[in-house]
Amino acid sequence: MQEKPDTFRNPVLPGFHPDPSVCRVGPDYYLACSSFEYFPGVPLFHSRDLVHWTQIGNALDRPGQLRLPPGTPSSGGIYAPTLRHHDGRFWLITTNVSDGGNLLVTAADPAGPWSDPIRLPGVKGIDPDLAWDEDGTCWCTYAGVEQVPLDPHTGRVLGPPRRLWSGAPGAKAPEAPHLYRIGDHWYLLIAEGGTERCHAVSIARSRTPNGPFEPCPANPILTHRGTDHPVQNTGHADLVQGPDGSWWMLLLGVRPLGGTPGWHVLGRETFLAPVSWADGWPAVGEPGPDMPAPPWPLRPAPPAPARDDFDAQEPAPRWISPRHRHPRNCTTNQRPGWLTLHAAGHSLDEPDVTFLGRRQQHLSCRVRTLLDPAAGRGGLAVRLDEAHHYEIEADPREIRVLARVGPLRTVLASRPAPPGPVVLGLETTATREVRDARTGPDVLALGIEEEGGFTALATLDGRYLSTEVAGGFTGRVLGMYAADGTVHFDWFDYEPLDR
């Protein structure tokens, strides 16, 4: 949607970009997100205005940094990172729940390269945070909420864990802690209530980084639980100062659509909200879809090209694959100007399938790809996990539409394949009118592009590719796969249709 000069649109990072962590270095802002079972891991973004973000890389982009074994479940892998800048270097701490727990990497430039990981066996919880006090002590705080002093250069814990503060009495999942020195106090920001509809942000303060902490009397300082607000599940936040010294919050939220209970399909997205201060406590403005522009010039980034022609040696940073991406199975060097995929697993039901995709970032969008299936079988897919995906695939004889929902897998439509390459297509159309409680969030049409236009072979309800049905922490990923032999893709188009 086109922004008006005096407004901006939330989310500022649409699509599956959860658990944002942000840091400021002079006029520049850098942001990291969770990536779960996808490789490369931890996407990194740059901005000059907190509104417009451009991906500059991934922190964990080498197999030696990120091991996601074949048994890594969907929504396993890399959990919430914290990104900080200290002593002239960038520091990123995160949890690989599928391989060894917490790790820390550093870089002189956030675009990379990032170091090999320092393992942190003494840090026992997820969602780790880093903060340095005046005497140089590095404090690592993690879900629970507990804290240990840490040597970030070696990964060695320098003292026993100390419990700090766990939010409201009885609230579940105190997590995502971030510790800041602001003025005369240390502030401890956490999420609580779980990352579903009861998600919330709370805060406490202390004169020292290790407590005791006094909770804010207005806690939770942000939640949309029990409301009909179009943005739900608000939580897992980080604070940062704007170019004019004002304070802002980056947080995750979702945009459920349709009837009851409301389905979100793009995953947890990153939203921006203003923060004001009164009596030493922050108050958060509502992170709605349409927001007043901040009081500094906005710097829109050039839009990403709609088409990827696969002319580069390596896929662009936005392209991701489940668990691994072996160069012999995914290459642009075998057939110049084409992406070549060699099959490993035989379908998207299998964890080792050869798949290259990008996050769906718009509620309505149009996708096309030109596929040559002469030596194999493959296609275009919408993936949530191994048990929830739709795809249109082709081999030299047939084009078919398949759907996997939980234990059910079926062929919905088929037709003879034309000779030579074929353009496969996908269109998602968001629901704008709720007809009854069972209305889904969107409709997905899968088909082929012919001389007369797009022919849909099947039209499917999008609710079955939603978090409310499938569970987990991710969102839809749209992309190309090989299920047998070798398939080549000349280009891939992604066009937003949101208006």
The reply to whether 229 and 350 lie within a common domain is no
Indicate the residue type of 258: G
Query: Residue 241: is its pLDDT beyond 70?
Result: yes
| Candidate list 37, 61, 175, 395, residue with the active-site label | 175
Q: Which of 232, 264, 292 is the last residue of a domain?
A: 292
Distance between CA atoms of 387 and 377, rounded to whole angstroms? 20
Does residue 234 register a pLDDT over 80? yes
Q: Is the pLDDT of residue 66 over 70?
A: yes
Q: How far apart are CA 329 and CA 231, in angstroms?
A: 39
Final residue before a domain boundary, out of 292, 317, 348: 292
Percent of the chain at pLDDT above 70? 99
Answer yes or no: are the C-beta atoms of 78 and 61 closer than 8 Å.
Answer: no
**Residue 381: what residue type?**
A
What local confidence, expressed as pLDDT, does residue 278 receive? 95
What would the pLDDT profile of 261-285 be if each residue is shown by its tens digit? 999 999 999 999 999 999 999 999 9
CA distance 255 to 278: 30
Q: Alpha carbon of 341 to those of 311, 372, 395: distances in Å?
A: 15, 11, 14
- Model confidence at 499, pLDDT cuts 50, 70, 90, reads low
Q: Are residues 177 and 278 in the same domain?
A: yes
Q: Which residue(s) pair with 103 in the sheet?
A: 94, 119
In a domain, 446, yes or no: yes
Q: 462: helix, coil or strand?
A: helix
User: Is-contact 233 215, C-beta < 8 A?
Assistant: no
Within 10 Å of residue 458's Cβ, how many Cβ atoms? 18
Residue 468 annotated to the active site: no
Residue 344: pLDDT band with limits 50, 70, 90: very high
Considering the domain architecture, whether residues 288 and 324 belong to the same structural domain is answered as: no
CA–CA separation, 32 vs 91, rounded Å?
A: 11
Q: What is the mean pLDDT of the chain?
A: 96
Residues 158 and 97 in one domain: yes
Mean pLDDT of 425-443: 94
Instruction: Say if residue 287 is preceded by a cis peptide, omega within 30 of 0.
Output: no
CATH number reported for the structural domain that contains residue 35 in this entry? 2.115.10.20
pLDDT at 210 over 90: yes
Same domain, residue pair 286 and 346: no
pLDDT, tens digit, 9 for 90 and up, residues 360-383: 999 999 999 999 999 999 999 999
Q: Which of 19, 37, 49, 61 does the annotation list as catalytic?
A: 19
Q: Are residues 276 and 313 in the same domain?
A: no
Region 136-156 average pLDDT: 97
Q: CA 468 to CA 265: how far, in whole Å?
A: 8
Mean pLDDT for the stretch of residues 341-353:
95
Domain count, the chain: 2
- C-alpha span between 209 and 308 (Å, rounded): 47
What's the pLDDT score for residue 1? 47
Distance, in Å, from the CA atom of 130 to the CA atom of 140, rounded to the nearest integer, reads 5
Give catalytic status of residue 238 as yes or no.
no
Q: How confident is the model at residue 5 (pLDDT cuts 50, 70, 90)?
A: low
Question: pLDDT tens digit string along 292-334?
Answer: 999 999 999 888 899 999 999 999 999 999 999 999 999 999 9
Is the pLDDT reported for residue 452 higher than 90? no
| Residue 328 is assigned to a structural domain of this protein | yes
Please state the rounded mean pLDDT for residues 373-395. Answer: 97
Residue 432's pLDDT is what?
86
- Buried/exposed 312-334: b ≥16 CB within 10 Å, e otherwise: eeebebbbbbbbbbeeebbbbee
- Stated as kind and residue range, the H or E segment containing 399 is strand 398-405
CA-nearest of 118, 117, 138, 142 to 128 is 142
| Section 35-39 average pLDDT | 98
Mark whether 432 and 475 lie in a shared domain. yes
Quickly state the pLDDT bin for 121 (edges 50, 70, 90). very high
Q: Let me know whether 279 and 323 are in one domain.
A: no
Distance between CA atoms of residues 250 and 450, nearest Å: 44
Residue 91 structural domain: 7-292
β-strands 365-385, 422-430 pairing: antiparallel
